[in-house]
Amino acid sequence: MTSPLLEVKNLRVEFPSRHGSLLALDDISFTIAPGEILGVVGESGAGKSLTGAAIIGLLDPPGRVAGGEIRFEGRRIDNLPYEEMRKLRGRHIGAIFQDPLTSLNPLYTVGRQLTETIRTHLPLNAAQARERAIGLLQETGISAAAERIDQYPHQFSGGMRQRVVIALALAANPKLIVADEPTTALDVSVQAQIISLLKRLCKEHGAAVMLVTHDMGVIAETCDRVAVMYAGRLAEIGPVQAVIHQPAHPYTVGLMGAIPAMDEDRERLLQIDGAMPRLTAIPPGCAFNPRCPRVMDRCRVERPELLEAGATRAACWLHDASITL
């Protein structure tokens, strides 16, 4: 068992505000192996983007890591000073964000942004960096890369821009890429191109990916494992096919049932009544208990840890093996 590339242990992120301290992430733990693609899925407010931000070290103040640790290649990174984190970011951890429009600086050519990133992290001279940049653009499927490298972001279409952003993320050959909703702002046909590109390139470069998204379909196509988040906590984590086809946590079951599928006709979609609790109003015990169709008394009082549940691990008392039913 190789040591994990990224290890997140009992991570807690809070936002101090005038209403008191809001706990946005509550005791999140997972690992990412080298070269693995982990999906982090959840609805809005579940905390998936925050997890990505905490790992890259780009939490918006006043948010801060309030507990637990994040280890990259065995080394703690959540408490690094700004300079150290900056060197780590880009060189070892790359990032792809949702909006290709704002991810690129409109004032500089694409080539300039690429070479700048390359030269910041790798000991190459200008000519070598430019060659590497052209190579990267070609890899991401941008034709006539040698000419387009000197164009400005506004001269690229949305999908092309996202390819440039992927090239930027891969520029310094990072070991981990954190991608936050990379295809949500794109058209469906472009989406398909981008996710297959991402998958292929990451396998080729040997980079692990943490893919944050709300789209379960994208997860199904790209990821090896998936973590399902709910109200700032981890509900279930496991291999992608297992989580999708044999979900163990009632929330995951509800989520899968609510997604309209392409292969069958259903009169009604499975509905989870109610809504995800706001961070200020998380119920005691299991956060999902008010909406759970299989709630037990224990769920209202005791918060469950991640328990073994078949092929996955779910934070649900239904899978407490120590209780004989």
Partner 1 sequence: MSTLVEVRDLAKGFDVSVPWSNRVIERRPRQWVHAVDGVSFSIERGKTLALVGESGCGKSTVARLLVGLHDPSAGEVLFDGQNIASTLAGPQALALRRRMQMIFQDPYASLNPRWKVRNIVGEPLTEHGLVRNDAELKDRVVELLHLVGLVPADMEKFAHQFSGGQRQRVSIARALATQPEFLVCDEPTSALDVSVQAQVLNIMKDLQRSRGLTYLFISHNLAVVRHVSDQVGVMYLGRVVELADKASLFAKPRHPYTRMLLDAIPDIAMSGRARTPVQGEVPNPLSPPSGCSFHPRCPYANERCRQERPALLEIQGVRIACHAVEEGRL
Which residues contact partner 1 (rule: CB under 8 A)?
43-44, 157-160, 187-193, 195, 214-218, 220-222, 244, 254-273, 275-276
Minimum distance from residue 253 beta carbon to partner 1 (Å):
11
Question: CB within 8 A of 322, min separation 6: which ones?
Answer: none
Nearer to partner 1, 23 or 46 (CB): 46
Minimum distance from residue 217 beta carbon to partner 1 (Å):
4
> Which one, of 273, 268, 302, lies nearest residue 287 by Cα?
302
Nearer to partner 1, 37 or 171 (CB): 37
Nearer to partner 1, 102 or 196 (CB): 196
Minimum distance from residue 139 beta carbon to partner 1 (Å):
17
Side-chain half-sphere exposure of 15, counting CA atoms within 13 A: 15
Rounded to the nearest angstrom, the gap between the alpha carbon of residue 302 and the centroid of all alpha carbons in its chain is 28
Minimum distance from residue 309 beta carbon to partner 1 (Å):
20
- Sheet of strand 208-213, all strands in order from the earlier edge strand to the far edge: 93-96, 176-180, 208-213, 37-41, 225-230, 233-239, 312-314, 307-309
Residue 10 backbone zone (phi > 0: left; psi -120 to 50: alpha; other: beta): left
The single-letter code of the amino acid at 233 is R
In the block, tokens 């691990």 appear at: 313
Nearer to partner 1, 113 or 191 (CB): 191
What sign results for the dihedral spanned by CA atoms 249, 251, 255, 257?
positive
Report the distance separating Cα 233 and Cα 215, nearest Å.
18
Minimum distance from residue 149 beta carbon to partner 1 (Å):
19
> Which one, of 8, 99, 16, 103, lies nearest residue 56 by Cα?
8
Minimum distance from residue 264 beta carbon to partner 1 (Å):
8
Report the distance separating Cα 269 and Cα 272, nearest Å.
10
Nearer to partner 1, 101 or 275 (CB): 275
Nearer to partner 1, 172 or 195 (CB): 195
Residue 257's H or E segment, with its range, is helix 250-258
Nearer to partner 1, 224 or 302 (CB): 224
Minimum distance from residue 285 beta carbon to partner 1 (Å):
20
